[in-house]
Structure 1
Amino acid sequence: MEPTPSPSVNTLYSLDVVAMVNTNTIRTAVGIVGNVISFGLFMSPVPTFISIFKAKSVQNFKPDPYIATILNCGVWTFYGSPFVTPDNTLVITINGFGFFLEIFYTSVFFVYSAWNKRRKIMLIFLAEIIFIALLVFLVMTFVHTPKERKVIVGPICIVFNILMYFSPLTVMRQVIRTKSVKYMPFLLSFTNFANGIVWTAYALLKWDPFIVIPNGLGTLSGLTQLILYVMYYRTTNWDEDDDDSANI
């Protein structure tokens, strides 16, 4: 019997290239799905803000998730830029959109809140904008390679992504205390959960721990919110009077 010829180096190289192309194609497709779901996540509070517009009051809704998301989207937009990481255009597009939309949401809370709450919202917002500007300036000025920038910006993104996903903790505490999910919008919880799953898959296809870690935790946060929604849906009094005296 003649010995089976071993694959040539060129053949193995070609197979590696095909596998890489397929992985990149799948990753791009997952990233597009992630953009669609993230778009849904950013748009999911629309019913909440329609309610605020109609009542001309923020009622018992809390601005925490929207304020936290401004900072999260700002740092992720910087992370996805070619100055920090290559091939992350999909990260830039959706987070850039989310950055400006969350500013709009926060502005609505500012307009329809009492003055003491307005001051708190304004101070936090200004602190976030200053932080983002300083981060971009310092990294671009003193760190000279994308690899080094990624190591610095990535952990910062993890922190603020986790803050965004867990910012509804104040709402969850209110849900447990009142046994009511009236002020924890279902769409926001569901899209948080779906968003975490898709972006975790996106980062696993081309290993990026800075995306995997916060989105894996975000999946758990969204799942917890959905469990609370199921637990307390029946005990929710949807017709109860709104009290705008609650602290944000």
Structure 2
Amino acid sequence: MVNSEAVRTAVGIIGNVISFGLFMSPVPTFISIFKAKSVQNFRSDPYMATILNCGVWAFYGLPFVTKDNTLVITINGFGFFLEIFYALVFFIYSTWSKRRKIMLIFLGEMIFLALLVFLVMTFVHTPSRRKVIVGPICIFFNVLMYFAPLTVMRQVLRTKSVKYMPFLLSFANFANGIVWTTYALLKWDPFIVIPNGLGTLSGLLQLILYVVFYRTTNWDEDDEPANII
């Protein structure tokens, strides 16, 4: 008989692989930005949201908050630093007004994360209580990460074009949500199930939009004035 913990570990490893793909999926977008030396009409919203999401989830996975979540720590630690790099690229190739917004958002995120870690570790003394506090915060920011592309989806509906909604990012979001929902169901963790279930829905909606508007997309059209955040 297959051990459920072994199955959960296997699913978690698959989740790490898919999450790695999710974090790397914007690479074609950033190649385009490097070539154009401009962020064009690509939006920084998903990357800024993911920085804080990865930070709180890496904290959640630490043994003094939850047990047996090493795979949660590793992938979110990697994602945290990679998304900071993506944000830096947006900062470099944006206008000054957009740079200021990116900088303010990033500083706000770092201050929030530092305060969260300090307050929880200082005033909450048991892992079970820390989990109850950090878990809902993780849900909030995970949902924010998954639904940050709503701004891009609104642009797709307005322009009937999916040129600036990368397919790989949408597909990786969908697959990532499914796998991590399965991981949490194998050893019930509502703090992982809830946001990733919603993330699966968000990814599915993006894929549906891609199918609907792919034919109406003019891939050679001139860019509209950039609207990043």
Q: TM-score range by the shorter chain?
A: over 0.9
Distance apart, 1:242 and its partner CA: 1.7
Correspondent of 1:241 among 190, 200, 222: 222
Alignment of 1:56-67 (within 5 A): 56-67=37-48
1:231 matched to 2:212? The reply is yes
Listed one character per residue, the Cα deviations across residues 53-75 of structure 1 (whole Å, up to 9, x for unaligned) are: 00000000000000000000000
> d(CA) in 1 for partners of 2:180 and 2:146?
13
Correspondent of 2:186 among 188, 201, 205: 205
TM-score computed with the length of structure 1 as normaliser:
0.91
Which residue of structure 2 aligns with residue 191 of structure 1?
172
Distance apart, 1:244 and its partner CA: 3.8
Amino acid at match of 1:130: I
Which residue of structure 2 aligns with residue 29 of structure 1?
10
Distance apart, 1:243 and its partner CA: 3.0
TM-score computed with the length of structure 2 as normaliser:
0.99
Correspondent of 1:125 among 72, 96, 106: 106
> d(CA) in 2 for partners of 1:234 and 1:204?
38
May I ask how many residue pairs the two structures share in their alignment? 229
Distance apart, 1:36 and its partner CA: 0.1
Q: Does 150-159 or 238-247 show the bigger shift?
A: 238-247
Which residue of structure 1 aligns with residue 56 of structure 2?
75
Distance apart, 1:111 and its partner CA: 0.2
CA contact 1:58–1:244 (8 Å) conserved in 2? no
Percent identity reads: 84
Unaligned runs of 5+ in 1: 1-17
Correspondent of 2:24 among 37, 43, 46: 43
CA contact 2:15–2:180 (8 Å) conserved in 1? yes
Which residue of structure 2 aligns with residue 145 of structure 1?
126
Listed one character per residue, the Cα deviations across residues 142-174 of structure 1 (whole Å, up to 9, x for unaligned) are: 000000000000000000000000000000000
Amino acid at match of 2:24: M
> d(CA) in 1 for partners of 2:225 and 2:34?
14
Distance apart, 1:247 and its partner CA: 4.7
> d(CA) in 2 for partners of 1:245 and 1:23?
49
Which residue of structure 2 aligns with residue 115 of structure 1?
96
Runs of 4+ in 1 over 2 A off after TM superposition: 243-248
Which residue of structure 2 aligns with residue 10 of structure 1?
none
Distance apart, 1:246 and its partner CA: 2.7
CA contact 1:81–1:89 (8 Å) conserved in 2? yes
CA contact 2:62–2:69 (8 Å) conserved in 1? yes
Listed one character per residue, the Cα deviations across residues 5-58 of structure 1 (whole Å, up to 9, x for unaligned) are: xxxxxxxxxxxxx77xx0000000000000000000000000000000000000
Greater relative contact order structure (CA < 8 Å, 6+ sep): 2
1:84 aligns to what SS in structure 2?
Answer: coil
CA contact 2:39–2:226 (8 Å) conserved in 1? no
Largest Rg, 1 or 2: 1
Amino acid at match of 2:159: T
Unaligned runs of 5+ in 2: none
RMSD: 0.9
1:92 matched to 2:106? The reply is no
